[in-house]
Structure 1
């Protein structure tokens, strides 16, 4: 599966514990990454400062569902189920 351009669910729903430029303590779950544009595109895409966790994310139907809203629900649920 290819990422749906303009989705951005993976930049909103999960927490990111690693440092992100401008977000030295990472990002809490449910909060938009400050690098996510209004068009839901990553401003760090393809840049070396993009966190490895972000670059390593691969879109899959089981995670991303059939649309953006479903992706937010699934990723959010996974986040809650794995939060310590």
Structure 2
């Protein structure tokens, strides 16, 4: 499965504990990553400074569902239970 362009759920819903350029302490859950542009695309995609956790995340129907709203809801729930 490929990411839905402009979704951005994985850049907002989960917490990220590793440093992100512009967010040296990582980011809390529900906070928009500073590297997410106005079109909800990652400015660091393909850049070696992109955190490993972001690089390793792969779109999956079980997580992303049928679109960005479902992806956001699923990721919020996964964050809540972990």
Normalising by structure 1, report the TM-score: 0.96
1:39, distance to aligned residue in structure 2 (A): 0.3
Partner secondary structure for residue 43 of structure 1: coil
Where 2:71 maps in the other structure, the secondary structure is helix
Shift of 1:72: 0.4
TM-score w.r.t. the length of structure 2 is 0.98
Matches within 5 A, 1:55-66: 55-66=55-66
**Structure 2 alignment gaps of length 5 or more:** none
1:47-70 Cα offsets, whole Å, 9 max, x none, are 010000000001001000101010
Moved over 4 A (4+): none
Root-mean-square deviation over aligned CA pairs:
0.5
- Deviations along 1:8-46, whole A, 9 cap, x unmatched? 000000000000111011000011000001100000000
Q: Please give the alpha-carbon distance, in whole angstroms, between the structure 2 residues aligned to 1:34 and 1:27.
A: 9
Which structure 2 residues correspond to residues 59-78 of structure 1 after superposition, within 5 A? 59-78=59-78
| Structure 1, gaps ≥5 residues long | none
